[in-house]
Amino acid sequence: MPRYKLTLEYDGTPFVGWQRQLNGLSVQQVLEDAAHNLSGHSVTAAGAGRTDTGVHALGMTAHLDLEKSLPPHRVRDALNHHMRPHPVGVLTAEEVSEDFHARFSCFHRHYLYRIICRRAPLALDAKRVWRVGYELDVGAMQAAAQHLVGKHDFTTFRSTHCQAKSPIKTLSTLIVSRHADEVQIRCSAPSFLHNQVRSIAGTLERVGAGRWQPASVRESLEAKTRSACGPVAPPHGLYFVKADYPPFDQ
């Protein structure tokens, strides 16, 4: 069966996350139902990451198999038609080899966390950023972030429900920057623990607010206990940006 690599964007607000679950509608279910309507047979989709309830995606990679070969643009357009009115869009579709796997072929994942610093309520970005009613010291947040870059035991920044076999992960980049009244936290790593990015974002926010010192983040990491973590940032500020694959999988 031909395999198709898809790039999707979605607003995570109405979903229980990427993965199909019994307690609500997921992005995976919407995509699989659309593929079923297109092909007439049951389809299982795999994604590069498992975003949580309310988390968005700018470029989530997924793959699925169809029983017959169709031009990629027809697959894209048909899936988009059948996913209406759900806030999910297939940006690109391409036929790939059966060796390609959206999750297991991926060697790097990128996330963005958005924080708006203003007292006024959000009209356009409601449920798409975390609004705080005070200024954040981006320089202090960036200094604190550097304590987390590299290979570490991230037990402190790991959900108690995380099913990963090991808390040891390698954070390739962690950059904090300001864009007008928006603070952006960009993270890259081969893989992440459950709630790791939101835990990091919530901890860095405490530094930016002056409640923690930058060195406190290193102490929190070294404590290797969940109780040493700052508050977990809300899901609606988090975006899955993109997944990286070897050239032969492109």
Q: Can you spell out the DSSP letters for the chain?
A: --EEEEEEEE--TTSSBSS-BTTB--HHHHHHHHHHHHHSS----EES---BTT-EEEEEEEEEE-SS---HHHHHHHHHHHHTTSSEEEEEEEEE-TT--TTTS--EEEEEEEEEE-SSPPSSSTTTSEEESS---HHHHHHHHTTTSEEEE-GGGS-TT---S-SEEEE-EEEEEEETTEEEEEEEES---TTHHHHHHHHHHHHHTTSS-HHHHHHHHHH-SGGGS-PPPPGGGEEEEEEE--GGG-
Q: Is 137 a catalytic residue?
A: no
Q: Which amino acid is at 122?
A: L
| Residue among 11, 52, 99, 137 flagged as catalytic | 52
Handedness of CA 81, 45, 56, 93 (dihedral sign): negative
Q: Give the active site residues.
A: 52
